[in-house]
Amino acid sequence: MTSGESLPRPAATLVSVFAGRSDYSTAVRGAAVLFIAALTAAAAQVSIPLPFTPVPFTLQPMIVLLGGAALGSRLGLSAQVLYLAAGIAGLPVFAASPVLPQGAARLFGPTGGYLMAYPLAAFVAGWLAERGLDRHYLGSVLAMATGLGLVFTGGVAWLAWLTPGAAGFGAAIATGLVPFLPADLLKIFVAAAVMPSVWRLTGRHRT
């Protein structure tokens, strides 16, 4: 690279392609952030309680990662921060539960680690998408699997901290990772096909 050359710029994200450079670009990006935050809240309502763990099965991780990849790092993070802010404010956006409360107290419960990891997971999935990984299936799998790993790391670490005794980490793995990993990996393999497919529709999947 010569002194006159600039460093390569990150690849465009889907939202930047659709927003373009029109006068409505900022509005489109803002609407996309609101849409992903609302979709995350909607996915939380598809919740299946499991008798052997305090953590319900939801569709949220898939939406968090897809949203991050589509919006990019900063907007993906912003969407999840907005989602958490709505929950902290008391809006019923967290998964319905007869035991776990809505509001800020949810973040201090057994699912708090997963929820607090959402912004970082969306940021990382978006950052990898900005490097073009979401334009091909295997790259999309890698981007989403990395984000999913962060969600599980936050969730399991928080569960371990809440579980007293030396067996806390093992118990957290058994109740916060093992029951969910097969289904979440399957969701990743399915969801990873979405991004390259949409890119092909734009005609820019090879740029």
Domain chopping of the chain, boundaries? 25-202
Describe the crossing of helices 73-88 and 60-71 by its angle, rounded to 10 degrees.
Answer: 140
Give 35: exposed, middle or buried? Use CB within 10 Å, 0-12, 13-18, 19+: middle
Task: Work out the percent of the chain whose per-residue pLDDT is above 90.
Answer: 63
| pLDDT at residue 21, as a whole number | 58
| pLDDT at residue 79, as a whole number | 98
Q: What's the average model confidence in pLDDT over 63-78?
A: 95
Strand partners, 47: 58
Instruction: Categorize the per-residue pLDDT at 6 as very low, low, confident or very high, splitting at 50, 70 and 90.
Output: very low
| Cβ-Cβ contacts under 8 Å for 151 (sequence gap 6 or more) | 61, 64, 114, 117, 118, 121
State yes or no: pLDDT of 33 exceeds 80. Answer: yes
Instruction: Give the CATH fold of the 25-202 domain.
Output: Arp2/3 complex 21 kDa subunit ARPC3 (1.10.1760)
Distance between terminal CA atoms of the chain? 20
Instruction: Categorize the per-residue pLDDT at 54 as very low, low, confident or very high, splitting at 50, 70 and 90.
Output: confident
| pLDDT at residue 10, as a whole number | 58
Residue of 203 and 153 predicted with greater confidence? 153
CA 129 to CA 92: how far, in whole Å? 30
Instruction: Note whether 55 and 70 are within 8 A (CB).
Output: no
State yes or no: pLDDT of 2 exceeds 80. Answer: no
Question: At 200, which helix (H) or strand (E)?
Answer: helix 194-202
